Amino acid sequence: MWNEQLKELKWWGWGEVDRRFPLEQRPHFWPHLRKLLPVPEKPFLFPPRPEEISLPPSRLTDPILRELHAILPDSHIARDDFMRLVHTYGKSYRDLIRIRLRQFPRVPDAVLFPDNEDEIIQILRWATRHRIAVVPRGGGTSVVGGVECVPAAAHQAVVVMNLCELRRVLEIDPVSYTAEAEAGITGPELESALNREGFTLGHFPESFHYSTLGGWVATRSAGQQSTRYGKIEHMVESIRVITPEGIWQTPPLPAAADGPDFDQLFIGSEGVLGVISRVRVHIRPLPERKYYTAYLFPDFTAGVEAVQHIIQEDLLPATIRLSDPIETDFVFALRERPAHRWQQVVQEWGLRWLAFRGYSASRRTVLILGLEGGAERVKWQQHTIHKLIRRYRAYHLGESVGQNWYRHRFDNPYLRDELLNYNLLVETLETASDWSRFWPLYEEVRAAIQKAYDQLNIPGIVFAHLSHVYETGTSLYFVLLAVPENGKELEQWAHIKRAASEAILKVGGTISHHHGVGLDHRPWIAREIGRPAVKLLQQIKQSLDPEQILNPGKLIPDLEDE
Amino acid sequence: MWNEQLKELKWWGWGEVDRRFPLEQRPHFWPHLRKLLPVPEKPFLFPPRPEEISLPPSRLTDPILRELHAILPDSHIARDDFMRLVHTYGKSYRDLIRIRLRQFPRVPDAVLFPDNEDEIIQILRWATRHRIAVVPRGGGTSVVGGVECVPAAAHQAVVVMNLCELRRVLEIDPVSYTAEAEAGITGPELESALNREGFTLGHFPESFHYSTLGGWVATRSAGQQSTRYGKIEHMVESIRVITPEGIWQTPPLPAAADGPDFDQLFIGSEGVLGVISRVRVHIRPLPERKYYTAYLFPDFTAGVEAVQHIIQEDLLPATIRLSDPIETDFVFALRERPAHRWQQVVQEWGLRWLAFRGYSASRRTVLILGLEGGAERVKWQQHTIHKLIRRYRAYHLGESVGQNWYRHRFDNPYLRDELLNYNLLVETLETASDWSRFWPLYEEVRAAIQKAYDQLNIPGIVFAHLSHVYETGTSLYFVLLAVPENGKELEQWAHIKRAASEAILKVGGTISHHHGVGLDHRPWIAREIGRPAVKLLQQIKQSLDPEQILNPGKLIPDLEDE
CATH of the domain at A392: 3.30.70.3450
In this complex, the residue of A177, A220, A255 whose CB is nearest that of residue B475 is A255
CA atoms of B231 and B216, how far apart (whole Å) = 9
Let me know if residue B537 belongs to a domain.
no
Please, which residues 226-255 of chain B have a Cβ atom closer than 8 Å to chain A? 231, 233, 237, 243, 245-255
Let me know if residue B56 belongs to a domain.
yes
Residue spans of beta strands (DSSP E) within B23-81 = 77-78
Which three-class secondary structure state does DSSP give residue A367?
Answer: strand
Residue B295: give the domain boundaries: 290-406
For B338-355, what is the HEC assignment?
A: CCCHHHHHHHHHHHHHHH
For β-strands B319-323 and B460-466, DSSP reports them as: antiparallel
Mean pLDDT of A72-98: 97
Mean pLDDT of B378-402: 95
> Where is average pLDDT lowest: B1-15, B176-190, B490-504?
B1-15
Let me know if residue B71 belongs to a domain.
yes
What is the model's pLDDT at position A560? Answer: 65
The strands making up B77-78's β-sheet, listed across from edge to edge, are B77-78, B110-112, B157-162, B132-137
Q: Which residues of B touch A555 (CB under 8 A)?
A: 259
CA atoms of A210 and B256, how far apart (whole Å) = 22
- B222, A255: Cβ pair inside 8 Å? yes
Instruction: Examine the domain organization and report whether A92 and A154 are in the same domain.
Output: yes
In this complex, the residue of B248, B511, B513 whose CB is nearest that of residue A255 is B513
Give the chain A residue nearest B314 (alpha carbons).
A373
Residue type at A552 in one-letter notation:
P
B498-523 per-position pLDDT tens digit:
999 999 999 999 999 999 999 999 99
Residue A431, pLDDT above cutoff 70: yes
Mean pLDDT of A124-140: 97
What is the model's pLDDT at position B562? Answer: 42
- B257, A530: Cβ pair inside 8 Å? no
Mean pLDDT of B343-349: 87
Let me know if residue B113 belongs to a domain.
yes
Mean pLDDT of B425-443: 98
- A176, B516: Cβ pair inside 8 Å? no
Report the alpha-carbon angle B480-B484-B489, nearest 5. Answer: 100
Burial B202-211 (b: 16+ CB within 10 A, else e): bbbbbbbbbb
CA atoms of B1 and B224, how far apart (whole Å) = 32
- A254, B555: Cβ pair inside 8 Å? no
Mean pLDDT of B239-253: 94
Q: Does B540 touch chain A (CB under 8 A)?
A: yes
Smallest Cα distance from B23 to chain A, Å: 33
Q: Which residues of B touch A474 (CB under 8 A)?
A: 254
- A544, B528: Cβ pair inside 8 Å? no
What is the model's pLDDT at position B306? Answer: 98
Whether this prediction's pTM lies above 0.95 is answered by yes
Let me know if residue A308 belongs to a domain.
yes
A510-545 per-position pLDDT tens digit:
999 999 999 999 999 999 999 999 999 999 999 999
CA atoms of A112 and A114, how far apart (whole Å) = 6
Q: Does A512 touch chain B (CB under 8 A)?
A: yes
Residue A486, pLDDT above cutoff 60: yes
Element (H, E) at A332: helix A325-333
What is the model's pLDDT at position B279? Answer: 98
Which among A110, A142, A162 is the end of a domain?
A162
B518-534 per-position pLDDT tens digit:
999 999 999 999 999 99
Burial class of residue A148 (count of CB atoms within 10 Å of its CB; 0-12, 13-18, 19+): buried
Residue A494, pLDDT above cutoff 50: yes
Instruction: Examine the domain organization and report whether A215 and A140 are in the same domain.
Output: no
Per-residue pLDDT band for B2 (boundaries 50, 70, 90) equals low
Which three-class secondary structure state does DSSP give residue A77?
Answer: strand
Q: Does A562 touch chain B (CB under 8 A)?
A: no
Smallest Cα distance from A510 to chain B, Å: 6
Which among B136, B162, B188 is the end of a domain?
B162
Per-residue pLDDT band for A5 (boundaries 50, 70, 90) equals confident
For β-strands B157-162 and B132-137, DSSP reports them as: parallel
Distance of alpha carbon B331 from the chain centroid:
20
Smallest Cα distance from B79 to chain A, Å: 32
Instruction: Examine the domain organization and report whether B12 and B153 are in the same domain.
Output: yes
CATH of the domain at A191: 3.30.465.10
CATH of the domain at B138: 3.30.43.10
Mean pLDDT of A485-497: 98
Instruction: Examine the domain organization and report whether A179 and A152 are in the same domain.
Output: no
Domain count, chain A: 3
Q: Which residues of B touch A530 (CB under 8 A)?
A: 248-251
CA atoms of B165 and B185, how far apart (whole Å) = 8
A368, A321 Cβ separation under 8 angstroms: yes
B100, B136 Cβ separation under 8 angstroms: no
Instruction: Examine the domain organization and report whether A280 and A301 are in the same domain.
Output: no
Quick check: ipTM above 0.85? yes
Instruction: Examine the domain organization and report whether A326 and A342 are in the same domain.
Output: yes
Smallest Cα distance from A459 to chain B, Å: 30
Per-residue pLDDT band for A562 (boundaries 50, 70, 90) equals very low
Let me know if residue A562 belongs to a domain.
no
Residue A457, pLDDT above cutoff 60: yes
Instruction: Examine the domain organization and report whether A196 and A153 are in the same domain.
Output: no
Q: Where are the alpha helices (DSSP H) in B260-374?
A: 263-266, 300-312, 325-333, 341-356
Smallest Cα distance from A1 to chain B, Å: 34
Let me know if residue B75 belongs to a domain.
yes
Which among B380, B406, B432 is the end of a domain?
B406
CA atoms of B498 and B504, how far apart (whole Å) = 10
Q: Which residues of B touch A384 (CB under 8 A)?
A: 376-377
B71, B122 Cβ separation under 8 angstroms: yes
Let me know if residue A11 belongs to a domain.
no
B61-73 per-position pLDDT tens digit:
999 999 999 999 9
